[in-house]
Amino acid sequence: MLMKIKLIQIVSLILVISQMSFGQGGTVYSRYGIGDQIHSQSARRLGFGDLGSAVVDMDYIDGYNPAAWTNLKLTRFEISGRFIASNNTSQNSSAFYNKAMFSGLTLGFPVERDLGISFALGLVPIASLEYNIEESLEDSSLIDPHKNIFEGSGSVSKIFIGASTLLPLNFSLGAMLEYYTGTNNYASKQNFESPSTFSDIYYETRYKYSGMGTTVSLITGNFFKYFDDETSLEFRLSGMANFASDLYTDTSLVTGTSIGELTPREGEVMSVIPTKYTFGAVFGWNNDFLILFDYVFQPWSKYTFNNFYEQNFKDLTKFSIGFQYKPKITSMHASSWEQMSLRCGLSLEETQYSFQGNNVDQYSFHAGATFPFGTVNLIDVSIAVGMRGKNENNLVKEEFIKAAFSLTLGELWFRREER
């Protein structure tokens, strides 16, 4: 009964939080498409390059790769948050942005441990929109001094439910059913300085997204185990595809003038999100060390809104390499410092943005750590520093710092009685 009450409370919390807005903070590039892509949400994955698709671990549950849940031993509840600070510069100006945001809530539990059957549900963001641009124009013979302001805010998130199971040869199979939801708001304003004979005007456009999608993933068994069951070496491969169906997009336009707010124009169109593919590998030794490789491909050149292609989009690719040290604990009285695991990574992302043949690339360095507390609970912290774009050819250069925090709690909800 207690387990059922907890599950109902967590599901209710997910539904409430799904009405909240996620934010990524201050990048002008996010105004295109559905916003900036968020590849993964947890602090742990940010620590070794934002990916890590081939890792199977009993201690975590997130909405990234459902095949990774087959080794789950306890019920896991995870909540995450992020902070980003970014200094953006163009050829003519610069601006600094910072923002903190909630970035995920997940719950997972094993059903049949010997068969690797686990279930999970949660809410995680997949894209976010956040920008603010101001342009001051001086007095002229035609118009009074004023500011042109362009603003955007919002996010797209997914509510998911999924499961995992073991296959022959110890392969792990996972799948998630996803519901996408979110709202992006775009505003253009013209504010005149006082006194002026002109009145302020604004245009606000709202896109409200909804639709279904699926994720299917596979992680191989440890190839070294096929030849030596006692080996301390590990090598696995993974593949994952995220099939996002067409998203219904309710659109509305509101205009504000000196005579008041005009009746909005409304309609429904389709936003077609291209399939995202992820391939990964992991190599480990001594049960303590892991090296991770990942590759992501998503053909954003095929993205359409209302049957129109986005002219500033190209195909996205992302490469990352990561390292993790997680000590194998043999003592029951090991301290938290002795159990602490460390990770780092490098990533290169050729983003989907391209303007007149000038691509916007991103480079970043990642680091993170896990601090156990209690017997089964974990705190993860991580940081990433990097650069995106350049302040040439009318582009914007972003120098950013991202920090993430995740709290993972474990409980034993299901225990088979011995007969």
Report yes or no: 379 and 406 within 8 Å, Cβ to Cβ: yes
Query: Distance between CA 252 and CA 268 in Å, rounded?
Result: 9
Structure tokens at 327: 């000590």
DSSP label at 22? P
Q: State residue 415's pLDDT score.
A: 54
Structure tokens at 72: 């789950």
Structure tokens at 93: 């100006």
Query: Distance between CA 291 and CA 48 in Å, rounded?
Result: 9
Query: Distance between CA 45 and CA 67 in Å, rounded?
Result: 15
45 Cβ partners below 8 Å, 6+ apart?
A: 51, 52, 62, 64
Q: State residue 289's pLDDT score.
A: 94
54 Cβ partners below 8 Å, 6+ apart?
A: 219, 236, 237, 238, 280, 281, 282, 292, 294
116 Cβ partners below 8 Å, 6+ apart?
A: 69, 70, 71, 164, 165, 166, 172
Query: Distance between CA 57 and CA 67 in Å, rounded?
Result: 10
- Phi-psi map region of 44: left, alpha, beta (phi>0 left; psi -120 to 50 alpha): alpha
Q: Is residue 378 packed enough to be buried (19+ CB in 10 Å), middle (13-18) or exposed (0-12)?
A: buried
Query: Distance between CA 290 and CA 232 in Å, rounded?
Result: 12
Report yes or no: 6 and 414 within 8 Å, Cβ to Cβ: no
Please give the helix or strand (H or E) that residue 16 lies within, else none: helix 2-17
Rounded to 5 degrees, φ, ψ at 369 are: -150, 155
Q: State residue 262's pLDDT score.
A: 62
Chain CA centroid to CA 400, Å: 16
DSSP label at 28? G
DSSP label at 29? G
- Following DSSP, what letter does each residue of 350-374 receive, concatenated? EEEEEETTEEEEEEEEEEEEEEEET
Query: Distance between CA 238 and CA 346 in Å, rounded?
Result: 19
3-state secondary structure 274-340: CCEEEEEEEEEECCCEEEEEEEEEECHHHCEECCEECCCECCEEEEEEEEEECCCCCCCCCCHHHHC
How far are the Cα atoms of 51, 160, 237, 297 from residue 223, in angstroms, in the given order? 21, 31, 9, 25
Structure tokens at 418: 């011995």
Query: Distance between CA 398 and CA 90 in Å, rounded?
Result: 9
Q: State residue 408's pLDDT score.
A: 93
Averages of pLDDT over each 10 residues, the chain, 419 residues: 49 43 57 89 90 90 92 92 87 79 90 94 91 68 69 91 96 96 88 67 88 96 93 96 90 73 77 96 94 97 93 95 85 69 96 91 96 88 94 86 93 57
Closest CA relative to residue 368, chosen from 39, 36, 52, 25: 52
DSSP label at 139? -
SS3 assignment, position 224: helix
Closest CA relative to residue 184, chosen from 132, 127, 261: 127
Could you tell me the pTM of the whole model?
0.86
